[in-house]
């Protein structure tokens, strides 16, 4: 059965449209059974294709119709922009268009018309400037899909890093790590590693919050008062959890070689390591949604838009990751039905 993925090009003035067009120049580097559909304004894709001198033929796609990826052909589910884009120049008039592409793709996945959605980068600032409070794809899709809580996880070859807190000022992180939140985050991570990655008994490494994981309370008590009790309770339920471990030593082969994922307490505790290991070859995955969603590990790169110099490696990784997750979920479902 073909894998049907919807892809949103993100900020129209950024490199997202370039990456989508680039991907379709070499579909042989994607899974052979992939149906890839861009949720975008056809005029945007035509304009950027001409600017890059990479011709593509656009096919208007309707839910329920097959569309295997072919070289130089791009299937499009049309969503119209308010104004024509200019590469590198943000325009608040098109902020709502960006959100509409996300809603359209997510709704198709919820309706079972697509297996997963893949997102190119958006520009948070311009969406907020246009009058819509927006902190990121993860939070937006959680609200749209009515998910009580989602987990951001980035993955590259040999390493998965999930986050307890995401886009928060550092001064607010400790207060946000409550027993209830930490418990639910680990439950979601454990569940989705089983269901969406088909890992029967996942082993999760959990970072401490403070340097040296609090040094027995001398450098902070969050490990003693919050993290350790939560881990103890979840271990009683059969979860394989190691920690809290000092983040400065956790990311070493001694620990990682036996782990399926790392749980970091905040954004810049875990992601610098992952991006050092695999920047340009990593994908951003939203756990806790009723759908599969992956994304790139980089931003809009306005200075590269329309230049032909943007690297499509992360988007290609996000597409391949989504395909692997769909197949893992289908495999697990088939075993459960036997």
Q: Identify the domain boundary among 125, 147, 169.
A: 147
Q: Are residues 140 and 154 in the same domain?
A: no
The C-alpha atoms of residue 104 and residue 85 are separated, in whole angstroms, by: 20
Residue 167 pLDDT level (bands cut at 50, 70, 90): confident
How far apart are the C-alpha atoms of 281 and 290, rounded to whole Å? 25
- Do 194 and 255 belong to one domain? yes
Residue 5 has pLDDT above 60, yes or no: yes
In a domain, 299, yes or no: no
Same domain for 124 and 188?
no
Q: Which residues are annotated as a binding site for substrate?
A: 137-138, 275, 284, 293
Number of structural domains in the chain: 2
Same-domain check for residues 180 and 83 = no
pLDDT tens digits, 67-123: 666 667 889 999 999 999 999 999 999 999 999 999 999 999 999 999 999 999 999
Statement to judge: residues 140 and 169 lie in one domain = no
Within a domain: 335: no
| Residues tagged in the binding site annotation for a divalent metal cation | 167, 212, 267
pLDDT tens per residue, range 38-67: 999 999 999 999 999 998 889 998 877 766
Same domain, 173 and 107: no
* Residue 278 lies in domain: 148-288
What is the SS3 assignment for 187?
helix
Question: Do 274 and 159 sit in the same domain of this protein?
Answer: yes
Of 117, 147, 177, the domain-final residue: 147
Q: Say which CATH number the domain at 163 has.
A: 3.40.718.10
Whether 195 is covered by a domain: the verdict is: yes
The verdict on residue 333 lying in a domain is no
Residues 117 and 41 in one domain: yes
Same domain, 133 and 71: yes
Q: Is residue 75 part of a domain?
A: yes
**Helices 16-23 + 42-52 axis angle, to 10:** 80
What pTM value is reported for the model?
A: 0.92
- Regarding whether 143 and 1 lie in a shared domain, the answer is yes
Q: Is 310 a member of any domain? A: no
Please identify, among 88, 113, 147, the residue that sits at the C-terminal boundary of a domain: 147
Angle, vertex CA 183, rays to CA 192 and CA 291, nearest 5:
25
Q: How far is it, in rounded angstroms, from Cα 7 to Cα 115?
A: 11
- Residue ranges for the known binding site are 137-138, 167, 212, 267, 275, 284, 293
Residue 148 has pLDDT above 60, yes or no: yes
CA separation for the pair 121, 282 (Å, rounded): 13
**DSSP states of 152-172:** EEEEETTEEEEES--S--GGG
């Amino acid at each position: 059965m073909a894998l049907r993925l919807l892809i949103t090009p993100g900020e129209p003035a950024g490199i997202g449209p370039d990456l989508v067009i680039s991907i379709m120049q070499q579909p042989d580097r994607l899974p052979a059974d992939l149906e890839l559909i861009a949720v975008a304004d056809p005029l945007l894709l035509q304009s950027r294709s001409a600017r890059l001198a990479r011709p593509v033929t656009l096919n208007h796609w309707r839910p329920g119709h097959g569309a295997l990826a072919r070289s130089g052909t791009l299937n499009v589910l049309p969503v119209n922009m308010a104004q024509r884009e200019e590469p590198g120049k943000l325009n608040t008039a098109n902020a709502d268009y960006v959100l509409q592409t996300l809603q359209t793709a997510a709704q198709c996945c919820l309706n079972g018309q697509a297996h997963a959605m893949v997102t190119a980068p958006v520009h948070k600032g311009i969406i907020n400037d246009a009058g819509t409070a927006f902190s990121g794809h993860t939070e937006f899709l959680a609200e749209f899909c009515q998910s009580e809580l989602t987990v951001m996880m980035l993955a590259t070859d040999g390493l998965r890093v999930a986050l307890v807190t995401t886009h928060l000022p550092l001064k607010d992180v400790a207060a946000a790590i409550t027993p209830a939140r930490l418990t639910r985050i680990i439950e979601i991570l454990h569940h989705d590693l089983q269901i969406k990655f088909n890992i029967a008994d996942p082993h999760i490494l959990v970072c401490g919050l403070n340097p040296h994981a609090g040094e027995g309370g001398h450098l902070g008590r969050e490990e003693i008062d919050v993290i350790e009790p939560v881990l103890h309770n979840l271990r009683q339920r059969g979860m394989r959890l190691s920690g809290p471990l000092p983040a400065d030593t956790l990311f070493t082969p001694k620990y990682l070689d036996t782990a399926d994922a790392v749980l970091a307490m905040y954004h810049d505790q875990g992601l610098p390591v992952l991006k050092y290991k695999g920047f340009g070859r990593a994908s951003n995955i939203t756990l806790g949604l009723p759908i599969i969603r992956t994304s790139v590990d980089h931003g809009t790169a306005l200075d590269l838009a329309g230049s032909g110099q943007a690297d499509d490696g992360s988007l290609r990784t996000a597409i391949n990751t989504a395909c692997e997750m769909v197949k893992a979920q289908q495999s697990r479902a088939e075993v459960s039905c036997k």
